[in-house]
Structure 1
Amino acid sequence: MNQANSPALEGSYQQLFDQLAAELLPEQLMTSHAQTLAYGTDASFYRLIPKLVVKVNNLAQLQLVMASCAQLALPYTFRAAGTSLSGQAISDSVLILLSDDWRQHQILEDGDKISLQPGVIGADANRYLAPFQRKIGPDPASINACKIGGIAANNASGMCCGTAQNSYHTMASITVVFSDGTVLNTGDPHSVAAFKRSHQGLLEGLSELAQSTLQNKDLADKIRHKYRLKNTTGYSLNALVDFSDPFDILQHLMIGSEGTLAFIAELTYNTVVEHPHKASSLLVFADSDTACKAVQVLADQPVAAVELMDGRALASVADQPGMPNFIASLDMQACALLVETRSSQADELTTLCQQVMDSVVSFPRIGEVAFTTKSSETAALWAIRKGMFPAVGAVRETGTTVIIEDVAFPVERLANGVHELQALFTEHGYHEAIIFGHALAGNLHFVFTQGFEDPAEVARYGRFMDAVSQLVAVKYQGSLKAEHGTGRNMAPFIELEWGSEGVALMQQIKQLFDPQGLLNPGVILNQNSQAHLENLKPMPAANELVDKCIECGFCEPVCPSRSLSLSPRQRIVLYRELSELRRSGSNAKRLTQLEKDFKYQGVDTCAAVGLCADRCPVGINTGDLVRQLREQHYAKYKNIARWTADHFSSVASITRLGLGTAELGQKVLGSSAISSISKGITKVSAGKVPTWNPAYPTRAKYQPPQPRFHKDKVVYIPSCAARTMAPQADAIDPRPLVEVTCNVLEKAGFEVIIPDKGDDLCCGMPYHSKGMLDIATDKSQQLEDIIWQLSEHGRWPVLMDTSPCAKRSQEQFTQPLDIYEPIGFIHQHALDKLNIAKLEQPIMLHLTCSSRRMDMHDPLLDIANRCAQQAILPEHIYCCGWAGDKGFTTPELNQAALAPLKAQVPEGCTRGYSNSRTCEIGLSHHSGVAYQSILYLVDEVSL
């Protein structure tokens, strides 16, 4: 978005902007309404819109922002992934975002430790540790999206983590940036010594707090009791009774501090064992009493996880695919336990499973799935548990939000807690509410839907939360927040749980660390008793395609445009705002500006590839919304599009002619000259003509080879890209893809069947991406009819040499046809028939978004490892952002998506492989390595 379109800031915020603008890039400072609304949204049901959003790339920039805010007395909040649920990652002042540059890691002591910057996604940390059979202790449900900064700042735990393996207990050292800009690394003796000299008062204050707490026996005993359970309500007061060294106290207070004390710049974990052998079982009991009694027995057994699910929770997923048949027949009184056992040895695991089952033999069960080690079966069992939160979200009434609360009871009182929570649901009219949770820790999550548009509904929610807080904190002396953090949601209830002495202790801690009170005010400590009922997020109806969005942010890591413009979550946030502005007609000026901003940020820069749907708990494909919006925009071009569809062979000829002209110009004038000329044309055309670069394809000479007879046959459909685009001029292998593909199939013993008039054919993808669904459907149907005949009504498999074409055809075709893209076909039908001599050079790989959605990750790596000595699949790249023709029309999307690529190319690597010709253009351009189809690699190494 153009900064000129941003509203003027007032007073101190304008001063702050001016100070930062002198040091930071324009794109790091965001002030427009669209930007602050989009980036200010987190996964909670609260909304504050920041005045200024600052994206920082390194420690020096962070210190600059913190110092400037301190000078001007402006509050600020840190944000990593924004998956937090209790309102701790939002601000109405300054929001500091971490860019992708905060994701460095270092493996230490053969995997026994790992140092992580706060921008590392939790699942990535575990991926780095996998070769050592280790992992980090915390395992939150959001681990594929949440980042280390948030995991530590909220002391997030999870299903298997319990209390022993959370960040508090597995931290080795921490690097912290204080409000005055001082950096402390508790693992560095020199840093520790310097901090002793510069911050003696802070250290002495912590020591005095610890001593006074220990002298207050009642308070110390209360703290020990509270942390026998999972507890993230308030600050980690257990640091004051667990440690005497002020540095130990300091670093453990940082865990769970939710950005209110200092900034966590790096964390070193003591890792835990990742057992290679696991088994899962589902035990179903007639009621929660029996199930909870079984939990107490299981707590003494060798189990890694025991997940409790009440009858309503089981009913919410009963109709999902893969569920055990008996689930649908259970009544609402039923209660199930999902049990997991782990071991380093397979034979020991069998013994442990039997031991676990023997321990609960006295508890009658009304259904069960016996322990299984089969990955498909264990995945199906865990899908029951993981599907419950989205199940509620998917059926909620439009305009409501999904709330997931998080409490802990003493395990011995768990059954009573379940009963009384269910009674509160009924009393307050939350009849859809379900309960599930980590039973070994007494940790229960309950999920319900809530609307906030009606004041009566807000009041109902307030009464319910008052009742829950009395039940948990007072009657059962449990935790009001077990693992989701206090945030704004539970801040008004801290005194109810901790008493006045506990709150006074927290206030003293806050004063020691943040004397100006600028760090994330209103979070954890909040004097407003109604804070949990204010600044509630509206969820207006916008479009049935996205109305179920809960704004969790799980989609963001895989979105190619997230660092350029918006993520899927942010697109939906702005689209909801647009819809509400149009409906209310309340602010015409804001509507006009937002429509302008959303055209580029929301529509033009969306790749619309659907990776977000795979990560979304409720299966939303934001690309479907974008295509719908594009249909309106491209409607005026409908006649032209229809002509191209009807004359597709002519379009192919024109394309080849254009590529041939550029190829000739490159040969005659040289790459530099043709690039300069192209840039000039792009400028004159206002970006309508794309800029040529050396990675652009040359003209393909499309000549289908004569087939040779073989017993096995395959129908090969060359894509329009393969028919028109040959490799780039400096490619290692200049042959057209059609020739290479036929060569591979011939070696593998297949007779190749190719349609006679292939230039007329198209899967419909170019039209589908523009929202022209009727034209796309017509082209797809034309292609299907021809394939149906060529394959002898599905007798022979069908290979499409470009993965997006295969994916779309799989989704659109109605006849029983086996459609493959190159990876799947080679892996399943050809690889074992070829004699392969491995390449000695390293190779780069790219797994296209369509191939990811077809689950081709493991087959691609298997092919590559059988064909080359070293294969690199770079991290943090899920979609290249070329997105059909976006690489031509919106090249900045491709550039942003591939920003991490070049740094991951090893020295001496000259080869890259993928399975989409257009994707390979951008990959080659931004890596410096010529990418070609994986079929080129297979052909080269096979005899």
Structure 2
Amino acid sequence: MSLPASFLSAVNALIPRDRRFDDPLSTLAFGTDASFYRLIPKLVVRVESEDEVIQLLKLAGAERVPVTFRAAGTSLSGQAISDSVLIVLGDNWNGREIRHQGSQIRLQPGVIGAQANAVLAPFQRKIGPDPASINACKIGGIVANNASGMCCGTAQNSYQTLAGLRLVLADGAVLDTEDSASVAAFQASHGELLTRLADLGRQTRANTELAARIRHKYRLKNTTGLSLNALIDFDQPLDILSHLMVGSEGTLGFISAVTYDTVPDHPHKASALVVFPDVENCCRAVTVLKRQPVSAVELLDRRSLRSVQNKAGMPDWVKALSGTACALLIESRAASQGLLHEQLAQIMAAIAAFPVEKQVDFSEDPAVYNLLWKIRKDTFPAVGAVRQTGTTVIIEDVTFPVEVLAEGVNRLLALFDKHHYDEAIIFGHALEGNLHFVFTQGFDSPEQVARYEAFMQDVAQLVAVEFGGSLKAEHGTGRNMAPFVELEWGADAYQLMWQLKRLLDPQGILNPDAVLSEDPQIHLKHLKPLPAADEIVDKCIECGFCEPVCPSKGLTLSPRQRIVIWRDIQARQRRGEDTRQLERDYQYQGIDTCAATGLCAQRCPVGINTGDLVRKLRGRSATHQGAADWLAGHFATALRGTRLTLWAANGVRQLLGAPRLAKTSAALRRLSGNRLPQWTAAMPQAVQAIRVAPPSGDARPRVVYLAACVSRAMGPAFADREQTPLLDKTRALLEKGGFQVVFPEQLDNLCCGQPFASKGYAAQADGKRQELIDALLEASRGGLDPIYCDTSPCTLRLLQDGLDARLQLFDPVRFIREKLLDKLEFQPQEQPVAVHVTCSTQHLGEAQGLIDIVRRCAREVVVPEGIHCCGFAGDKGFTTPELNAHSLRSLKDAVQFCEEGISTSRTCEIGLSQHAGIDYHGLVYLVDRTSRARA
């Protein structure tokens, strides 16, 4: 059924066109979350204010239109999808307020969990929930799912650490539990609802059998169904209501702000890995450790250890473990090192009597404990990486009472064997008896669906009935477990949940079929297809971890959505459908606006670089092979042409003035169909060609200076206070550090190949890269001299596919860090400095190195939050400027107190300067200005 015309008309009047999506590409892209379900919404609305949410809910209520809320879409159980109206959070939900020296924090629902912890870090505090998706998931989802994680258990989840809530009910009513005026108004308008909640609380507490069952269920980690513990933990209806919202998955209302009581984030920590000979001893040790000062205890069965034993960096002993081995990864944290050491001794003494097959002792060395946690964190992606194309990875989430954990593990293993899930693994948060089991599943045939259904029925009986555990501990009920809520809770509790749902959402418009459903087969419907698309991306599990670092997310598509659409195009083509319109839409949405910087690969659990797919697709339409060949063979001529163009543009600027040129350029770009680049005040001036003097009899150590083509062509902007070209500034700094600077022969002909690779001309890119490597070998005397590359993207391009082992290639950060710091004395400046860490600097592992160098040069350093990639992407800042503008839309506010910005890529600095309102320079400018040579 289509949405009512009157509803659509009212929404059109309320929400601007650029925040409403109803075209097939967009609705399919938004129809996917991290679960293995898919629903295609009829309308997607990006909301930017609470008032918009209120008005939308009133409209939806009047027309009985179902709505579903989504924050980051990392949920795993099908609770963030809709075939009606999907309401997603826009940019303006990122507010945070630190209170009482960090003991509380007020957050809007769009704040990413890791961002909340970052602003609390100076106070050595954090929010209690610590889900594995904390770098991607948002506060709205964390609260709505009562997400927990490795360390928070049941004591520090959102329910237990909730200090206040602001919510919008289905009828559009607003309640802020921390605002006395809001409370008074709500009590006046919704007194009957509050009375009914109080009555339900009294009835539930008076029902001793039901109350005891609720207390038992929440002794465990439990997110199955609604939070009935609110009815027995509280007697005030406002407290009941606010705690019912936790874990309600958007079925009872919209959470527009939450206040947390924060928890300590102890600075001292150590981890150990203890491998027991069998599951029984491992789980008996857990019951002992539960009484010890541990912050996390992660269980890994032998299957999970086997899944990662061949990965790079894994210690050899993992392969040698026995077939029945079972491990515990143990972490302890403390406020002081002395206290930590006391705790470690106490922990090891407590489990000393258990037989141990292998043990990695507690270590405070980050290299050691990071490797141990890598074993744990790589288990899930390890299963995803080996799954058959077309299947999905399912991660289930159950809780056994800790006292029967060993039997529960063994019974689960037996179910894997019974249903032939041979690749399935078990790991989890052992202290709480919370186990995740991961397996691959296809849904392409009735037989595959029947196998899954039989397995889940057995799991439900085992966990919920036989062991009295939880079918969902932290991933939320969603559609996945909605048919099993009554089985787990019993008829009385189940009917109580329905009473609450109908009381708070009488028309049933909020996220129907999530948490509670009258359809016993809902968990077997709308199963997501994962058809083959390309081997580069076929392992994608659509988790969404990539999205926070993508510069085009919110403008067009995210990496996850690019893969979703390309999968659909390929599947349609195999069915013989006409995909030409979808491909035309995808050209701009998926290909033209992708920065292809590969940051998504750093966040992806299975290491997918969606940019590789985009470059491959660009290669298919790269039809100007002749022009690319000419450019590769006449690069110096092209570079002279670039200088001439910049010189001419600057001449026109002098003639017309900058404002008139900018306006004229914008008009010409529009007339050209956006094919012509637009001139801005940040546009560089031309640089004179390098005059390379032959090496003299200089006795100083040599450094080969590889000046990138952009550095050879593009100088400072006309209004920049720094008018010295990067070439001259770099040469001066290298000489200050005691180096003799030499250049490769025929430098203007040389290029790393990046401009060709980014446009899909792989052969020309590889040819230019090899030509440059040969020239560098000659210039560096066979690798004897270090090579300084002044632009980090070029450095990365040369290093990515394996550089000749003889060459010592450095980007600016690494060279300054390793070769210059000990030769310079610094006098830090008082003026604040902004830092942009380029994508390539992140890939090179030099992000912290860059920040540390800038901190030597300036007393105050600003690293803008949430800007992971500037979106300039080589020349896209000229050809697709909206990508650069969108990526940097929050930059100006973030750097408003700075007078200068620092980066390591000349093209990035053009866009950064334009959108920040301050000049961005290469790192060498700041280092040179604040340093002098040591005596």
TM-score category, normalised to shorter length: over 0.9
* Residue segments in structure 1 that go unaligned for 5+ positions in a row: 1-8
Q: Which residue of 2 aligns with 1:303?
A: 294
Segment drifting more, 105-114 vs 341-350: 341-350
Aligned-partner Cα distance in 1 for 2:920–2:526: 50
Among 885, 900, 908, which residue is 2:875 paired with?
A: 885
Among 570, 573, 590, which residue is 2:564 paired with?
A: 573
Q: Which residue of 2 aligns with 1:608?
A: 596
Q: Which residue of 1 aligns with 2:614?
A: 626
Deviation at 1:231, TM superposition (A): 0.2
CA contact (8 A) 1:285 1:364 kept: yes
In the TM superposition, what are the counterparts of 1:103-252 in structure 2 within 5 Å? 103-252=94-243
SS in 2 for 1:402: strand
Aligned-partner Cα distance in 1 for 2:323–2:253: 46
In the TM superposition, what are the counterparts of 1:851-890 in structure 2 within 5 Å? 851-890=841-880
Superposed CA deviations along residues 442-480 of structure 1, whole A, max 9, x for unmatched, are: 000000000000110000000000000000000000000
CA RMSD of aligned residues (A): 1.1
Paired amino acid for 1:354: A
Q: Which residue of 2 aligns with 1:4?
A: none
Deviation at 1:25, TM superposition (A): 1.6
Q: Which residue of 2 aligns with 1:322?
A: 313
CA contact (8 A) 1:705 1:742 kept: no
Deviation at 1:682, TM superposition (A): 1.5
Question: Is 1:408 matched with 2:399?
Answer: yes
Query: Structure 1 residues 131 and 247, CA, compared in 2 at 3 Å: closer, same or farther?
Result: same
Among 266, 269, 275, which residue is 1:278 paired with?
A: 269
Query: Structure 1 residues 710 and 25, CA, compared in 2 at 3 Å: closer, same or farther?
Result: farther
Deviation at 1:914, TM superposition (A): 0.7
Aligned-partner Cα distance in 1 for 2:879–2:892: 22
SS in 1 for 2:154: coil
SS in 2 for 1:601: helix
Aligned-partner Cα distance in 1 for 2:477–2:803: 51
SS in 1 for 2:859: strand
Segment drifting more, 856-865 vs 102-111: 856-865
Aligned-partner Cα distance in 2 for 1:22–1:239: 39
In the TM superposition, what are the counterparts of 1:255-274 in structure 2 within 5 Å? 255-274=246-265
Aligned-partner Cα distance in 2 for 1:646–1:186: 69
Question: Is 1:732 matched with 2:713?
Answer: no
Paired amino acid for 1:897: S
SS in 1 for 2:596: coil
SS in 2 for 1:267: strand
Paired amino acid for 1:637: H
Aligned-partner Cα distance in 1 for 2:3–2:515: 28
Aligned-partner Cα distance in 2 for 1:21–1:748: 62
Segment drifting more, 857-866 vs 500-509: 857-866
Deviation at 1:321, TM superposition (A): 2.1
Q: Which residue of 2 aligns with 1:773?
A: 762
Q: Which residue of 2 aligns with 1:805?
A: 794
CA contact (8 A) 1:845 1:914 kept: yes
SS in 2 for 1:841: coil
In the TM superposition, what are the counterparts of 1:356-375 in structure 2 within 5 Å? 356-375=347-366
Q: Which residue of 1 aligns with 2:516?
A: 525
In the TM superposition, what are the counterparts of 1:787-866 in structure 2 within 5 Å? 787-816=776-805, 817-866=807-856
In the TM superposition, what are the counterparts of 1:705-744 in structure 2 within 5 Å? 706=693, 709-744=698-733
Q: Which residue of 2 aligns with 1:650?
A: 637
Segment drifting more, 607-616 vs 787-796: 787-796
Segment drifting more, 784-793 vs 353-362: 784-793
Superposed CA deviations along residues 530-589 of structure 1, whole A, max 9, x for unmatched, are: 111111001111111100000000000000000100000000000000001100014x2x
Paired amino acid for 1:927: A
In the TM superposition, what are the counterparts of 1:409-558 in structure 2 within 5 Å? 409-558=400-549
Deviation at 1:704, TM superposition (A): 4.2
SS in 2 for 1:840: coil
Superposed CA deviations along residues 128-178 of structure 1, whole A, max 9, x for unmatched, are: 000000000000000000000000000000000100000000111010011
SS in 2 for 1:727: strand
Question: Is 1:293 matched with 2:280?
Answer: no
Aligned-partner Cα distance in 2 for 1:15–1:593: 29
Deviation at 1:789, TM superposition (A): 1.9
Aligned-partner Cα distance in 1 for 2:764–2:809: 21
SS in 2 for 1:518: coil
Question: Is 1:70 matched with 2:61?
Answer: yes
Deviation at 1:910, TM superposition (A): 2.6
Q: Which residue of 2 aligns with 1:86?
A: 77
Q: Which residue of 2 aligns with 1:6?
A: none
Deviation at 1:801, TM superposition (A): 0.7
Identity of aligned residues (%): 54
Question: Is 1:681 matched with 2:668?
Answer: yes
Deviation at 1:886, TM superposition (A): 0.7
Deviation at 1:773, TM superposition (A): 1.1
Q: Which residue of 1 aligns with 2:900?
A: 911
Segment drifting more, 175-184 vs 398-407: 175-184
Deviation at 1:710, TM superposition (A): 4.7
Aligned-partner Cα distance in 2 for 1:507–1:106: 35
Superposed CA deviations along residues 323-346 of structure 1, whole A, max 9, x for unmatched, are: 222110123311000000111111
Deviation at 1:839, TM superposition (A): 1.9
Aligned-partner Cα distance in 1 for 2:262–2:782: 55
CA contact (8 A) 1:702 1:738 kept: no
SS in 2 for 1:884: coil
Deviation at 1:813, TM superposition (A): 4.3
Deviation at 1:21, TM superposition (A): 1.7
Query: Structure 1 residues 522 and 710, CA, compared in 2 at 3 Å: closer, same or farther?
Result: farther
Superposed CA deviations along residues 214-237 of structure 1, whole A, max 9, x for unmatched, are: 111111000000000000000111
Deviation at 1:90, TM superposition (A): 0.2
**TM-score normalised by structure 2 residue count:** 0.98
Paired amino acid for 1:724: A
Aligned-partner Cα distance in 1 for 2:713–2:569: 41
What is the number of equivalent residue pairs in this alignment?
929
Superposed CA deviations along residues 858-912 of structure 1, whole A, max 9, x for unmatched, are: 11111111111211111110000010111111111001111110111234x3311
CA contact (8 A) 2:3 2:84 kept: no
Deviation at 1:188, TM superposition (A): 1.4
CA contact (8 A) 1:88 1:488 kept: yes
Q: Which residue of 2 aligns with 1:695?
A: 682
Query: Structure 1 residues 65 and 202, CA, compared in 2 at 3 Å: closer, same or farther?
Result: same
Question: Is 1:596 matched with 2:587?
Answer: no
**TM-score normalised by structure 1 residue count:** 0.97
CA contact (8 A) 2:3 2:42 kept: no
Superposed CA deviations along residues 376-410 of structure 1, whole A, max 9, x for unmatched, are: 11110000000000000000000000000000000
